Structure 1
């Protein structure tokens, strides 16, 4: 059953006067909609439209008022909550639980509604936005179907630690009363769900890869990895480590995951499979690279206006990073032809000046590493040269992260990036200087960063324009003691690091590092140092700048 496309990004007021032209799916966002392939809402709306579904958008609503969720009427199929690329609690609070005033995805970066007090109730993006938005939709429409996806949904799918409340919470599927959760990148899943609902299929019984549902009984079969139950984790939070390992094993084996939450079961199907051909189709659709309302664009869109996603996934598997959980641990790369086609699409934008702010992914140089790299030169080097030499392009920057350990294998690529694709700084992420901490982070040993700094310095001396080196580091990660931070700044500066960008470890839900913090042990049960004192964490960070 194909449904007629009627996606038209106009103002809510003008749309609401045409209620007879009802929408099949209404996307609900806690920030302004961006029709851009670097933003999940742009990708999802485009995928649904390509499959013939009519899509409406409710964005940056005054979510305290249930009437706001009735402006476009009732969708024919379902509401879809798109929480965005960052968990709302992580977005709204610092690691030391101070309320953030800025939200780069909002108009002018202002986290609060205009002329409102700086309180949690006045945020454009509410805390635990999936739960809040879903409950408000339920108030407006009693029996409508609700699907949610995004980083917040994926990370909070099973029993998890919430650092704002500092306790274990149950699955977001239960608290938000979702009919379906989309796990990971969601274009395939949301289109499959839309077609299944249009065909009157039961979502709880219809197994869509990369989705999860709540069931009252445990499903039959042995194709699932069983996690410790919610009640077990509440009694012994160290079981979060076991849960993480089991999820990782399920991902590697292509299996589903089960967890009992009181008298109900969270049932997650195996990860959806994306291929280079699918990515080419997703990214080669036309995107307006704008926000659909008459307003200034958000800082996040401004930064990414002319950026290109060359691949998804990351082989790094850093313990504190959610990319691997969201996009997968295997790299999936677009074809060079697809990327050049996107350059040509961008060139028709009214703001185009021939400058591309980034070509990359979670880690830029992993492009083309879908399988073992057999060529002496990495595929990313050839891609950069192809894009840079295109007649429509004046300059290409690499703003995505680069891994210093991989750069040691490809010095020609490093020199090319420094010569042609760097601004003032090249930014790398050693994250720490002590191997005792790096092993818990899942990062390479520090001796490799020393080697990288030596290589970087050798190349720099040959260049006419010197490139400065900026290093990202994390303080307060499980396994760290105060003494580990004391000599960090002097050591990095002695290696030639010009700028240190430090952040305090944030215990995001669903990650290995968070499980280490909560348990206070490693995965073998050995006690490790952890710091939960906000003042001590601030002191460690500030010591790097004095």
Structure 2
């Protein structure tokens, strides 16, 4: 894996001398793009949150970071997922779509732990619920793929990060596979991913096939077959030798008897100090 690179060590993709200046707000419509003099966006971010240009909204941070690298970044906020039309509102990106469900996992956003629908959404204007689909990252990615075939789609955020490998799904009471084959995303960035997304953006801009970008830390991707030098182990065989498995400690076990064994002879114990209220002195 490649070592992290200084975020500001890259040459800007569109230098300021070519007329690209920071946008007052990341454009959300063709009209706003026209006002900036853009013929297209390099990267289009799709998010399940309302767009608020503030550090408390992760996609705003990522958008501004990519903008600082010289990319023209547009944002599609809470699109209508029932068709691909909403994903065409900014046109075709020259590099890729970047998709995230928002600041929260969409299922946690929609349901309580008892699987009851929530009545509000803290990341939507007016706290209105129902502005994003269940499993939003998967749905948005599929629609972006439908809108523009052949355009890479990168997924990230908390929903993609926690579902990058097989996981127990509370909502369906099943073990679900990685989000990658379900969403058909080309690349998954997990964690904060600010260094990874900048590296990916510059390499795709340089003409590198996103399918060949497999050496960046904090990324996950699908591949055919087992890599050379790797082996597959059945998880049921890993703990077959019980002598290698440490017994699980019961946090509620009564250990008072064991504690008393280590106290030693009571006659040799130091008496606790006490204060004489009349003299204010310490007696032993």
Q: How high is the TM-score relative to the length of structure 1? A: 0.38
Are the equivalent residues in 2 in contact too, given 1:6–1:55 (CA < 8 A)? no
- Partner residue, 1:14: 31
1:433-491 CA-to-partner distances (Å, cap 9, x unmatched) read x9439xxxxxxxxxxxxxxxxxxxxxxxxxxxxxxxxxxxxxxxxxxxxxxxxxxxxxx
Aligned partner (choices 211, 226, 233) of residue 219 of structure 2: 211
Q: Displacement of 1:37 after TM fit?
A: 2.0
2:238 counterpart of 1:220: no
Instruction: State how far apart, in whole Å, the 2-side matches of 1:101 and 1:31 are.
Output: 16
| Number of the residue aligned with 1:116 | none
Find 1:73's aligned residue among 91, 97, 114.
91
Q: Which has the higher relative contact order, 1 or 2, with Cα contacts under 8 A spaced 6 or more apart? A: 2
Structure 2, gaps ≥5 residues long:
1-10, 15-19, 240-249, 254-284
Unaligned runs of 5+ in 1: 112-122, 242-433, 438-546
Distance verdict in 2 for CA 1:227–1:166, change over 3 Å: farther
Matched with 1:197 is: 204
The structure with the greater share of residues assigned to strand is 1
- Does residue 60 (structure 1) correspond to residue 68 (structure 2)? The answer is no
Question: Once the 2 structures are TM-superposed, how far is the Cα of residue 33 of structure 1 from its aligned partner?
Answer: 1.4
Q: Which one has the largest radius of gyration?
A: 2
Partner residue in 1 for 2:268: none
Q: How far apart in 1 are the matches of 2:191 and 2:232?
A: 19
Once the two structures are overlaid, the 10-residue window that deviates more, 194-203 or 90-99, is: 194-203
Residue 218 of structure 1 deviates from its aligned partner by 2.3
The structure 1 segments of at least 4 consecutive aligned residues displaced by more than 6 Å after TM superposition are 226-229
C-alpha distance in 2 between matches for 1:12 and 1:22: 11
State the alpha-carbon separation in 2 of the partners of residues 17 and 217 from structure 1: 46
The structure 2 residue matched to 1:97, chosen from 111, 115, 133, is 115
Conservation of the 8 A alpha-carbon contact between 1:3 and 1:54: no
**Quick one: structure 1 residues 54 and 227, their matched pair in 2 at CA, closer, same or farther if it must change by over 3 Å?**
farther
The Cα RMSD (Å) is 2.8
Are residues 1:436 and 2:249 paired?
no
User: 1-side partners of 2:115 and 2:142: how far apart?
Assistant: 25
Quick one: structure 1 residues 137 and 228, their matched pair in 2 at CA, closer, same or farther if it must change by over 3 Å? farther
Q: 1:83 Cα deviation (Å)?
A: 2.0
Residue correspondences, number: 225
Change (3 A) 1:68 1:217: same
Name whichever structure is richer in helix by fraction. 1
Residues 99 and 154 in structure 2, CA contact (< 8 A), matched pair in contact too:
yes
Per the normalisation by structure 2, the TM-score is: 0.72
Aligned match of 1:163 in 138, 154, 170?
170
Instruction: Give matches, 1:377-456, under 5 Å.
Output: 435-436=251-252
Residue 121 of structure 2: SS of its match in structure 1? coil
How big is the shift at 1:74? Answer: 0.5
Task: Quickly say closer, same or farther: Cα 1:2–1:165, change in 2 above 3 A.
Answer: same
Aligned: 1:109 with 2:131:
no
Aligned to 2:193: 186
Cα contact 2:138–2:182 (8 A) shared by 1 = yes
**2:28, 2:76 within 8 Å by CA — same for their partners in 1?**
no
